C-alpha cells in the first residue's frame, strides 16, 4: 500500500538520488524526454496509457521543481523533512519570530505540527507509513506537549530568505478556522483559495497543475481526475501554495476520494 497513497516524490519521478546535482537532474529529465520521441509510442505498454498525461505533467513538475535550487529547497523542506511551519509560508516583512505569524491560527494546530516534525525527523524515508502513524499519533493530548527536535533543526532555519522567495504563496483569510477535525473538502479548498484572493488560474500557474484538474478537485468531480496517486500529488501541491499542511489536507481529501470510489463499486 506504500506506493498508491504516497505523496509524489519528485526524486522518484525523475529517478535521481536525493543528493543529485542540478546537472544530474537535467540529465535524468533529458533521458525521459528521449523516451517521448516518436509521439510517446515508445512508452506504449510500459506506462499506463490512461495516466500518460498525468505522468507527463508530473515529470514536468518534478523537473521544474528540482532543477531550480530555490524551489527545490522549498520542496525538500516541505516534503522530506515533513516540517510544515508557517514562517516561510507567510510573506510578512518581519520573519524574526518563528512562532506562527499565521494570524489567528488555532494554537493546537501549530503545536501539533511540532509533534509531527519530531516524528518526521525520526523517519524521513518512509513517507506513507509516516502518514499513517502520524494520523493516529497526532491526538490532542499529545499536541499540548512541547516537542524536542532530535535530528531535524528547529524551525527558524526554515525562515531563510531563499525559501521565503520560493514560488508564490497565497495566504487564506484567518477567518476560516481550521483545526484537527477539519475535513478538507473540495468546497473548503475553494473557500480558502477565494479568501486568499487567488483564482484557479493563479494556482495553476504556480503549481503547473492543469486548471481542469484543479476545478475537478474543488468540485470533487473524482471521475475527471486521474489515479489516486496523482490526485494526492495535486492536492499536496494545491495545499502547499495555500500555506496549508499538505499531509493533513491530502489525507483528509483522499479519504473523500476513497469513499467516493468505494461508493461506485
Partner 1 sequence: MLSQISENGHATLPALATKSWGRPGVAVSSPGDDTEPKRKIIAIGGGKGGIGKSMIAANIGVYFAQSGCRVVTVDADLGGANLHTCLGVDVPEATLTDFIARRVGSLADVVTPTLVPRLGLISGALDFLAAANPKYTQKLRLIRAISRLDVDYIIIDLGGGTGFNILDFFLIADYGVLTVIPEPTSIENAYRFIKAAYYRRLKMAELPWNVKPIVEQALDAPGAQGLKTPADLVRTVERQSPEAASKLREELERFPLRLVVNQIRSAEEERLGAAICAACRKYFGIRVEYLGCLPYDDAVWKSVRARRPVLVEAPESRVSHSIKAIAASFGQDKL
List of residues contacting partner 1 (CB under 8 A): 15, 31-32, 34-46
For residue 24, what are the CA distances in angstroms to 8, 19, 75, 80?
A: 19, 9, 17, 19
- With respect to partner 1, which residue has the nearer C-beta, 104 or 227? 227
Q: What b/e string do you get for 8-28 counting C-beta neighbours within 10 Å, with b at 16 or more?
A: bebbebbebeeebeeeebbeb
H-type helices in 36-106, by residue range?
52-67, 69-75
- With respect to partner 1, which residue has the nearer C-beta, 51 or 76? 51
Cell 516540517 -> residue = 83
- With respect to partner 1, which residue has the nearer C-beta, 42 or 104? 42
CB of 39 to partner 1, least distance (A): 6
What are residue 262's phi and psi, to 5 degrees? -70, -40
Q: How far is CA 119 from the centre of its chain?
A: 18
- With respect to partner 1, which residue has the nearer C-beta, 40 or 156? 40
Cell 535530528 -> residue = 151
CB of 52 to partner 1, least distance (A): 12
| 253 Cβ contact list (under 8 Å, min separation 6) | 184, 185, 186, 189, 217, 231, 235
Residue 210 CB neighbours (<10 A): 15
What are residue 47's phi and psi, to 5 degrees? -120, 135
Show the cell assigned to 252. 483528509
Q: Are 84 and 75 in contact (CB under 8 A)?
A: no
CB of 223 to partner 1, least distance (A): 25
CB of 27 to partner 1, least distance (A): 12
CB of 109 to partner 1, least distance (A): 40
- With respect to partner 1, which residue has the nearer C-beta, 38 or 263? 38
Q: How far apart are CA 232 and CA 239, in angstroms?
A: 10
Q: How far apart are CA 6 and CA 194, in angstroms?
A: 28
CB of 19 to partner 1, least distance (A): 20
- With respect to partner 1, which residue has the nearer C-beta, 34 or 223? 34
- With respect to partner 1, which residue has the nearer C-beta, 41 or 262? 41
CB of 165 to partner 1, least distance (A): 34
Q: Are 150 and 189 in contact (CB under 8 A)?
A: no
Amino acid at each position: 500500500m506504500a506506493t498508491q497513497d504516497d505523496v509524489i516524490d519528485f526524486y522518484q519521478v525523475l529517478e535521481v538520488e536525493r543528493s543529485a546535482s542540478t546537472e544530474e537532474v537535467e540529465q535524468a529529465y533529458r533521458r525521459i524526454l528521449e523516451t517521448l520521441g516518436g509521439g510517446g509510442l515508445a512508452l506504449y505498454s510500459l506506462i499506463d496509457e490512461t495516466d500518460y498525461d498525468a505522468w507527463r505533467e508530473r515529470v514536468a513538475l518534478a523537473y521544474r521543481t528540482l532543477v531550480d535550487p530555490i524551489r527545490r529547497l522549498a520542496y525538500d523542506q516541505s516534503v522530506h523533512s515533513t516540517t510544515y511551519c508557517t514562517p516561510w509560508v507567510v510573506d510578512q516583512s518581519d520573519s524574526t519570530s518563528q512562532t506562527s505569524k499565521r494570524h489567528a491560527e488555532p494554537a493546537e494546530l501549530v503545536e501539533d505540527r511540532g509533534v509531527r516534525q519530531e516524528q518526521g525527523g525520526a523517519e524521513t524515508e518512509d513517507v506513507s507509513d509516516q502518514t499513517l502513524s502520524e494520523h493516529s499519533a497526532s491526538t490532542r493530548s499529545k499536541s499540548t506537549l512541547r516537542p524536542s527536535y532530535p535530528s531535524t533543526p528547529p524551525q527558524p532555519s526554515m525562515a531563510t530568505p531563499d525559501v521565503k522567495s520560493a514560488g508564490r504563496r497565497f495566504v487564506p483569510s484567518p477567518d476560516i478556522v481550521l483545526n484537527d477535525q477539519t475535513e478538507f473538502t473540495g468546497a473548503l479548498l475553494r473557500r480558502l483559495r477565494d479568501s486568499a484572493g487567488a483564482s484557479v488560474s493563479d494556482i495553476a500557474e504556480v503549481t503547473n497543475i492543469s486548471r481542469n484538474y484543479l476545478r475537478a478537485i474543488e468540485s470533487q468531480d473524482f471521475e475527471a481526475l486521474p489515479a489516486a496517486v496523482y490526485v494526492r500529488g495535486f492536492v499536496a501541491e494545491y495545499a502547499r501554495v495555500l500555506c496549508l499542511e499538505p499531509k493533513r489536507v491530502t489525507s483528509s481529501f483522499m479519504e473523500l476520494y476513497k469513499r467516493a470510489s468505494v461508493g461506485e463499486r
